[in-house]
Amino acid sequence: MNENNIPVIVGQGEISDHPKTPSEGLEPLALMVEALKRAEQDAGAQLIADIDSLDIVNLTSWRYSDPAAQLCKRLGITPKRAIYGPVGGESPIRYLHEAAQRIARGESTVAAVCGAEAQNTVNKAQKANIDLPWTPFAHDAPATVRHASYQHPMAQALGVMRPITIYPFYDAASAAHYGQTPREALAESGSLWATYAEVAARNPNAWLKNRFDSDAITTPTADNRLIAWPYTKLMVANPAVNQGAALIVTSLAKARAAGVAEDKIVYVWGGADAAEPMDYLKRDNFYQSHAQNAVLGAAMTLAGGSGKAFDAIELYSCFPCVPKMARRTLGLGPDVMPTVTGGLTFFGAPLNDYMTHAACGMVRALRDGKQLGLLYGQGGYVTKHHALVLSPRAPDAPLAQDTSVQAETDRNRGPVPEMNAEASGAGTVESFTVIYGRSGEVEHGVAILRTEDGKRTLGRVTSDDHATIAHLTNPDRSPIGTTGVISRAGDGLLNWRTAQ
């Protein structure tokens, strides 16, 4: 293979900003500049000036007019391509993969992927009523498009259109599919999350460096309140961080000409991508993701057909159901080491940018002796999936350009039930959650139901229906598959009550 068309990662840089006062906090643009400088320093070669392709991960904590142009100005560069991307937790892996593909096609020589958030500083400044001395907030810039706008009106009316209220549907449904009781599923989540916490505690770039055992993670307390059954605060992503990360990708020829040391070079073997329907109620089930299965299956093919070939893994960890499903698709046991970074709860979740940090951690792991790494990113509501395989060893074949496994995803999808907002009569639980207030009180439950004619609907469980709430939250018996009664409430919404 021509070295000019072999993509390699040569630099990684991270920053975690803990200012004494909000006014001293670095804004996202400054965090990205610093992360890129650290990536260049890590590579041991002057590369920023040669960047011809730049991808910026979507920002949430601060809004800029044309952030790509502003970052380029701060760096003093004029790349032929500078893109500010859309929302998506998988997007850093996609950008990294696409940068490698452009190098393989000869369209780019030096590419950078970077992102940052400063939500912790923003929150503290707002609380203290402090005006931050940053680039003025661009009120006229387009606001971030949230996926909630794509959800069914019934989901919006019942408050199950945000990640924290949707992922529990997958946790409950997958646990029942695996034959687990809710208690057993919670124990698996706690053990898995304790592993992430242990890795974060050893990561100097992590936001939280506290070790938590399984019970501390899964047991509701005043400081660890239930948010949406079965998830507590320590089981969900933590976006209140100030973190930035960057990666530099070049051709092998450029890396060697620039003097990058051979033991710094990490090769991009390939990967895959696919997506589920944006409206989660238009999916055939909630115990698996066909897109996740297809993407991870393609990654395993690159590794020789087995998930056990990977000795360094990052499984996206916004909520426990995602890595729990992923490890089973990979054929790995509950003792799998799922992260090189520390997870979105403990390392920190700079919104869409976590996987940029994960890629930095993976590069370090592969330089330190690991031989085959898997980066698996996910975005939306179990919606967008992207995997990438990296190694310190050169691949045997050129980087593939066609990476979509969408056709396989769609082929494996079963019939999707029609939604019926006017349902009545018997309703069988397909999945469920219970939503809690800040004081730990039940706000209401929501069940995804299948009607007698096979259609799908959503039913509310009111907070005063103690018997049905207890039925849903019984730790020793899943309510999935049980039947109750659907009725229309005075406010026009559908209620569901257990028949047991």
Residue 225 has pLDDT above 90, yes or no: yes
- Tell me which residue has tokens 């910026």: 56
Q: Is 2 helix (H, G, I), strand (E, B) or coil?
A: coil
At 139, is the pLDDT very low, low, confident or very high (cuts 50, 70, 90)?
confident
Question: Looking at the chain, which residues constitute the CATH 3.40.47.10 domain(s)?
Answer: 3-130+239-412
Res 500: pLDDT: 72
Res 1: pLDDT: 75
Pairing relationship of beta strands 384-391 and 266-275 according to DSSP bridges: antiparallel
At 170, is the pLDDT very low, low, confident or very high (cuts 50, 70, 90)?
very high
Arch. (CATH architecture) of 3-130+239-412 = 3-Layer(aba) Sandwich (3.40)
At 147, is the pLDDT very low, low, confident or very high (cuts 50, 70, 90)?
low
Q: Determine the number of helices (DSSP H) and then strands (DSSP E) in the chain.
A: 15, 16
Res 476: pLDDT: 98
Q: Is 118 helix (H, G, I), strand (E, B) or coil?
A: strand
Question: Looking at the chain, which residues constitute the CATH 2.40.50.840 domain(s)?
Answer: 425-498
Q: Which residue has the higher pLDDT, 230 or 208?
A: 230
Res 142: pLDDT: 75
The residues with which 251 forms a beta bridge, in sequence order, are 7
- The mean per-residue pLDDT over the stretch 466-490 comes to 98
Nearest-5° angle of CA 11, CA 12, CA 15?
A: 145
Identify the CA nearest to 117 among candidates 240, 246, 18, 21.
240
Res 140: pLDDT: 85
Return the number of other C-beta atoms located less than 10 Å from residue 437's C-beta. 12
Q: Using alpha carbons, list the distances in angstroms from residue 478 to 136, 198, 233, 474.
A: 51, 30, 22, 7
Residue 216 has pLDDT above 70, yes or no: yes
Q: Is 26 helix (H, G, I), strand (E, B) or coil?
A: coil
The residues with which 14 forms a beta bridge, in sequence order, are 245
Write the DSSP assignment of 68-115 as a string of letters.
HHHHHHHHT---SEEEEPPS-TTHHHHHHHHHHHHHHHTS-SEEEEEE
The burial of 203, by beta-carbon neighbours within 10 Å (0-12 exposed, 13-18 middle, 19 or more buried), is given as: buried
Q: Alpha-carbon distance 403 to 388, whole Å?
A: 10
Domain 425-498 has CATH 2.40.50.840: yes
Structure tokens at 212: 């938590």
In tens, the pLDDT along 20-56 reads 999 999 999 999 999 999 999 999 999 999 999 999 9
Q: Alpha-carbon distance 460 to 443, whole Å?
A: 10
Q: Alpha-carbon distance 51 to 109, whole Å?
A: 8
- The mean per-residue pLDDT over the stretch 208-214 comes to 94
Average pLDDT over all residues of the chain: 97
- The mean per-residue pLDDT over the stretch 136-142 comes to 87
331 Cβ neighbours under 8 A, 6+ residues apart? 306, 307, 308
